[in-house]
Amino acid sequence: MGKMKKATYQDENGKDFTVEYDPDDPCLYCGYPVEEASMGGTLVCPSCDMGVNRFTGRPWSLEEYFLVHKNFKLATTGGKTTPAFGRPERK
Ligand SMILES: [Zn+2]
């Protein structure tokens, strides 16, 4: 459990509200620590919120898309997610 962070969102009436979140919680899609809240919420990392691979910055390939959605299904049905795609190897 890491140090909690805060994120501010607006409700449907345009009123700000703040939520606390743990940046070490795994992202519902990629399975890596969420690190920063996104428009999609505190459980989705900013890259997945935009549908891009956080390591390459490129839009998900079809294969990555299926992997992250498998993770999402697991995460939302009480299963355990695993990192959907590997960190790119450094050469
Ligand atoms: Zn993610």
Cβ atoms of 45 and 36 closer than 8 Å? yes
Report the separation in Å between the CA atom of 91 and the middle of ligand 1, taken as the mean of its atom positions: 24
CA 38 to centroid of ligand 1, rounded, Å: 10
Residues 82/75, Cβ–Cβ less than 8 Å: no
In a domain, 82, yes or no: no
Establish if 71 belongs to a structural domain. yes
Number of domains making up the chain: 1
In a domain, 30, yes or no: yes
In a domain? residue 89: no
pLDDT digits (tens, 9 = 90+) for 28-41: 999 999 999 999 89
The DSSP string of 36-64 is S-BTTBTTS-HHHHTTB-TTT-SBPPHHH
Range of the domain at 59: 5-75
What is the mean predicted confidence (pLDDT) over 54-78? 92
pTM to 2 decimals? 0.84
In this predicted model, what pLDDT tens digit does every residue of 5-57 receive, in sequence order?
999 999 999 999 999 999 999 999 999 999 999 998 999 999 999 999 999 99
The token pair that represents 61 in the structure block: 């390939």
Domain membership of residue 85 (yes or no) is no
Ligand 1 centre to CA of 66 (Å) is 13
Q: Which residues make up the environment of ion ligand 1, defined by Cβ < 5 Å?
A: 27, 29-30, 45, 48
Q: Report if residue 90 sits inside a domain.
A: no
